[in-house]
Chains A and B, each alone.
Chain A
Amino acid sequence: MSEVPLTHILFLSTALFFTGAYGFLTRRNMITMLMAAELMLNSVNINFIAFNKYLFGSKLDGVFFTLFLIAIAAAEAAVAIAIIINIYRQYQSIDIDDADSLKY
């Protein structure tokens, strides 16, 4: 594992993050937007673990960040789904562009 330099792992996580960002900004379906957000969160987890492994081998802080982050991501996904279901009941559609009541 030490043959792969840290920057390569960081390249992976950065690419994954921006893929998720692209998906979040582009996808019209709310559930696919949520999926893209999960991708972003995963890339952050990869970052934490990689730094912990390569730079701070004797400590566990990165691992704990990751653990808590996974828990929080789960909670957030659940709440997001609840909101999406509520919006579906209101607008009868999960197209994000249909929920534009806050327009001028």
Chain B
Amino acid sequence: MINGTTIALIPLLPLASFLLLGLFGRKYLSSMAGWIGTLSLLFSAIISLATAGTYFFVSGKVNGVYQPVTVLQHTWLAFAPGVSIDMGLLLDPVSMMMIVIVSFVSLMVHIYSLGYMKGEERFATYYAFLSLFTFSMLGLVLSCNLFQIYMFWELVGVSSFLLIGYYFDRPSAVAAAKKAFIVTRFADLGFLVGILILAFGAHTLDFKTLVERLTTPSPELRSMISSSFLGLSALTWGLLLVFMGGAGKSAMFPLHVWLPDAMEGPTPVSALIHAATMVVAGVYLVARLFPVFAISCPGALHVVAYVGVFSSLFAAIIACTQTDIKRVLAYSTMSQIGYMMFALGVSGYGGEHGLGFTASMFHLFTHAMFKALLFLGAGSVIHYVHSNEMKDMGGLRKYMPVTHLTFLVACLAIAGVPPFSGFFSKEEILTAAYQHNFTIYVIALFTAGLTSFYMFRLYFSVFWSKEFEPHHESSDVHHGEAPWTMKLPLLILGLLAMGAGFVPFGNFVSSDGNTLHSEFHLALAIPPVLIGLFGIALAYIMYNRQNDLPEKTASLFARLYKGAYHKFYIDEIYLFVTKKIVFNLIGGPSAWVDKNIIDGAVNLSADLTDDTSILIRGWQSGKMQQYALWFFAGVIGMVAVFVCLWH
């Protein structure tokens, strides 16, 4: 087994790079900043691969079952015997998979940013923030303790805020960063309450012990199930509130409003954070606590499933109408994460029933590859065209061959066309859904069709559709497609998007550690492929060449189109609630109380003192005889008292 300190280097190398670049980057190291960040990530990725390889192939198995291994555990803050915040590293199949994904995609983004962010004034700061984010995410997936996850959760939120608001002179970017932070912070309120409920009920914060106590008939489990509040047991409340935190981070309905706006950040940031890593933190959290969900609280698991499938359908409908290339990809991310969520939601625990779990993790793995590829490709297009809107693009296949090909590969993967990776993972999810819940299966199938439709709408609009006329007279159009630092990650990710589907995932990651042998059901594999191809064909007809079919279709579904274009007015509802209800009913009266009552009391005491002092300053009149009179009276008084006491 690899040494614990070496494993600790995986998050610590990016942390060191953050400190170095953050403190000294701008003044001294700005030319080297990109290489420093990339190198530290390279080493971190190598160590991650080595650790994962050792775990999966050499030493992780005991009796054929993958065991969770805790390394370097150290009690940091002890509240009560057993309940303490520890710092440690937990190695188990899911976390091994995650460190490989996070470090590898982050490495790709670092290399890509060498070309994309070249010439930026705050180049070193950008790499510092990227390193901070990678550190936080790696710490999150290696956490062995619920509170440790919460700490890294917040750190990830902060890094996301810093990166979304990177172009801080743009008010829209600042507003988007604030929105992301506030919405996820609001979700984290639920998360914290959930953590406290679980800690209080199970008397522990450590993951291994928590899962053990809440999945076997233990006194803690009995007490948590028996105590109830408003009809739901304490365990259900704890798990649902924890899921609320996860839903906020993973942009599930209705806490999804921050994700489209977060596209204000630089495109490599969107690739890293809002496609491959941070947004899957919620899925990761549910996967961590999955045994508790599946064995002891199936009701919460149903909630997870329905939220997931609804979010995926909701996002897919909206994505069909958006015209900004990054927003289409953002809603696509939300939809795919919905897939991962409901895959977890329909899964059981153990053996064959755990198919949903494995499928969800598999989809996480493949999605990271092709979604990062899609975003990086979009970045390359934006870099070339200097605009985000689809109407400024078109016919780019002649000018950007590498981007075109890799983008096509990614679109085929997300549409679920064999033999690309997306086909395998989606097919497993749909099989799991079919086996457990037919309604969800039907909705998911329909969403798969929508997915391929809007993705290929995007593809055809950008690379075919019309002849490209550059809108800017700048010489950038003549510089060619992209530097090699931007093309290399595209190529690597493209290869992975093609080949990752053939990894026998069930051998590595499953709900209980045993190998899951997934069978290939031909009958179930065919419908999604057919629907995907149908979506591609529809998109081809409507968007390959410029015609008026899109407008006619839009007018056919006029109301639905308008609602979807305006993202179903969720943002407006939030604004209404906060402005009209919270500000007016709560904020206004509080301000009134503060100004009139609290400030009034302070002013009153000041005025009282003032008046009293004016009243008694007459004693200092400057008139000597008045002083003499008081003196005389005082002396007589004292003598009288003295004489009386003496007698």
A-side contacts of B621, CB under 8 Å: 100, 103-104
A103-B620 contact in complex given A21-B632, A25-B632, C-beta closer than 8 Å? yes
Counting CB contacts under 8 A, is A97 at the interface?
A: yes
Counting CB contacts under 8 A, is B472 at the interface?
A: no
A-side contacts of B628, CB under 8 Å: 24-25
A-side contacts of B623, CB under 8 Å: 96-97, 100, 103
A-side contacts of B625, CB under 8 Å: 24-26, 33, 96-97
Assess whether A104 is in contact with B632, with CB atoms less than 8 Å apart.
Answer: no
Counting CB contacts under 8 A, is A102 at the interface?
A: yes
Counting CB contacts under 8 A, is A99 at the interface?
A: yes
Counting CB contacts under 8 A, is A101 at the interface?
A: yes
Counting CB contacts under 8 A, is B617 at the interface?
A: yes
Counting CB contacts under 8 A, is B624 at the interface?
A: yes
B621 and chain A: residue at smallest CB distance: A103
B-side contacts of A100, CB under 8 Å: 621-623
A37 CB to nearest B CB, Å: 10
Which of B617, B625, B628 lies at the interface centre, i.e. has the most chain A CB atoms within 10 A of its CB? B625
A-side contacts of B617, CB under 8 Å: 104
Counting CB contacts under 8 A, is B1 at the interface?
A: no
B301 CB to nearest A CB, Å: 79
B-side contacts of A97, CB under 8 Å: 623, 625
Counting CB contacts under 8 A, is B643 at the interface?
A: no
Counting CB contacts under 8 A, is B629 at the interface?
A: yes
Which of A25, A102, A103 lies in contact with B629, CB distance below 8 A? A25
B-side contacts of A96, CB under 8 Å: 623-625
Assess whether B622 is in contact with A102, with CB atoms less than 8 Å apart.
Answer: yes
A30 and chain B: residue at smallest CB distance: B624
Q: Would you list which residues of chain A between 71 and 104 have a CB under 8 Å from chain B? A: 96-97, 99-104
B-side contacts of A103, CB under 8 Å: 620-623
Assess whether A101 is in contact with B632, with CB atoms less than 8 Å apart.
Answer: no
CA distance A25 to B617 in the complex (A): 21
CA distance A100 to B618 in the complex (A): 12
B-side contacts of A21, CB under 8 Å: 632
Tally A residues with Cβ within 8 Å of B.
Answer: 13
Assess whether A99 is in contact with B632, with CB atoms less than 8 Å apart.
Answer: no
CA distance A21 to B632 in the complex (A): 9
Assess whether B622 is in contact with A101, with CB atoms less than 8 Å apart.
Answer: yes
Per-residue CB proximity of A15-46 to B under 8 Å, as 1/0? 00000010011100000010000000000000
Q: Interface size bucket, B side? A: 10 to 19
A26 and chain B: residue at smallest CB distance: B625
A28 and chain B: residue at smallest CB distance: B625
Assess whether B624 is in contact with A99, with CB atoms less than 8 Å apart.
Answer: yes
A22 CB to nearest B CB, Å: 10
A-side contacts of B622, CB under 8 Å: 99-104
B-side contacts of A26, CB under 8 Å: 625
CA distance A97 to B623 in the complex (A): 6
CA distance A25 to B632 in the complex (A): 9
B-side contacts of A101, CB under 8 Å: 622
CA distance A100 to B625 in the complex (A): 11
CA distance A100 to B622 in the complex (A): 4
Per-residue CB proximity of B609-623 to A under 8 Å, as 1/0? 000000001001111
B425 CB to nearest A CB, Å: 87
B624 and chain A: residue at smallest CB distance: A96
Which of A24, A25, A104 lies in contact with B620, CB distance below 8 A? A104
A36 CB to nearest B CB, Å: 11
CA distance A21 to B629 in the complex (A): 9
CA distance A101 to B621 in the complex (A): 9
CA distance A103 to B620 in the complex (A): 5
B628 and chain A: residue at smallest CB distance: A25
A93 CB to nearest B CB, Å: 14
B317 CB to nearest A CB, Å: 79
Q: Would you list which residues of chain B between 142 and 182 have a CB under 8 Å from chain A? A: none
A-side contacts of B624, CB under 8 Å: 96, 99
B84 CB to nearest A CB, Å: 64
B632 CB to nearest A CB, Å: 7
A-side contacts of B620, CB under 8 Å: 102-104
Q: Would you list which residues of chain B between 598 and 647 have a CB under 8 Å from chain A? A: 617, 620-625, 628-629, 632
CA distance A42 to B628 in the complex (A): 20
B111 CB to nearest A CB, Å: 79
Per-residue CB proximity of B386-409 to A under 8 Å, as 1/0? 000000000000000000000000
B-side contacts of A25, CB under 8 Å: 625, 628-629, 632
B636 and chain A: residue at smallest CB distance: A21
CA distance A26 to B620 in the complex (A): 18
CA distance A70 to B621 in the complex (A): 34
B637 CB to nearest A CB, Å: 15
CA distance A25 to B633 in the complex (A): 11
CA distance A101 to B624 in the complex (A): 11
B-side contacts of A104, CB under 8 Å: 617, 620-622
CA distance A33 to B632 in the complex (A): 15
CA distance A24 to B632 in the complex (A): 11
A-side contacts of B632, CB under 8 Å: 21, 25
A-side contacts of B629, CB under 8 Å: 25
B628 CB to nearest A CB, Å: 6
B181 CB to nearest A CB, Å: 57
Contacts A/B (CB < 8 Å), 21 sampled? A21-B632, A24-B628, A25-B632, A26-B625, A33-B625, A96-B623, A96-B624, A96-B625, A97-B623, A97-B625, A99-B622, A100-B621, A101-B622, A102-B620, A103-B620, A103-B621, A103-B622, A104-B617, A104-B620, A104-B621, A104-B622
Known: A21-B632, A25-B625, A100-B621. 9 other contacts (CB 8 A): A26-B625, A96-B623, A96-B625, A100-B622, A102-B620, A103-B621, A103-B623, A104-B617, A104-B620
In the A-B complex, the 9 residue pairs with the smallest Cβ-Cβ separation, listed nearest first, are A100-B622, A103-B622, A104-B617, A104-B620, A102-B622, A25-B629, A103-B621, A97-B623, A100-B623
